[in-house]
């Protein structure tokens, strides 16, 4: 599986935008980019995913570099509830390759 690299931790002030980076220089042309987050004492939850184009949903935006070797998860206005570990994951599109491989993620701290 292609690997992703994320900073171990980040801090952001409440009510400000947060940009969480992810490098995936060995991404293949068929890999989707997925983001999950894990709140304290909970299982991970899906945030967003994309292939080539930028994506928006109610939780966040995903900006994908033109060469697809990096991406950025954007939380437009961080709240205290956004404090979590954020995982950037590559998922192949080949049938039979079904597992998601998590790294250690970025621990996001929100400062009130």
Residues that bind other proteins (CB under 8 A): 32, 34, 36, 41-46, 49, 85, 87, 91-105
C-beta of 23: minimal distance to other proteins in Å? Answer: 16
Q: Which two tokens stand for residue 50?
A: 């994309």
Beta strands 9-13 and 106-111 are parallel
Please give the backbone phi and psi of residue 74, each rounded to the nearest 5 degrees, phi first: -115, 120
C-beta closer to other proteins: residue 17 or 47:
47
C-beta of 13: minimal distance to other proteins in Å? Answer: 25
C-beta of 14: minimal distance to other proteins in Å? Answer: 25
Q: Are 16 and 77 in contact (CB under 8 A)?
A: yes
Nearest to 67, CA basis, from 26, 17, 19 = 26
C-beta closer to other proteins: residue 104 or 112:
104
C-beta closer to other proteins: residue 96 or 112:
96
Nearest to 69, CA basis, from 55, 94, 84, 88 = 88
C-beta closer to other proteins: residue 5 or 13:
5
């Amino acid at each position: 599986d292609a690997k992703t690299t994320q900073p171990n931790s980040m801090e952001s002030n409440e009510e400000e935008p947060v940009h969480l980076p992810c490098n995936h220089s060995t991404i293949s042309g068929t890999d989707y980019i997925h983001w999950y987050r894990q709140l304290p004492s909970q299982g991970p939850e899906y945030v967003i995913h994309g292939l080539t184009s930028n994506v928006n949903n109610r939780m966040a935006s995903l900006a994908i570099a033109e060469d697809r070797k990096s991406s950025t998860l954007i939380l437009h206005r961080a709240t205290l509830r956004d404090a979590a570990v954020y995982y950037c994951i590559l998922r192949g599109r080949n049938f039979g390759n079904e597992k998601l491989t998590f790294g250690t993620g970025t621990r996001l701290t929100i400062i009130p």
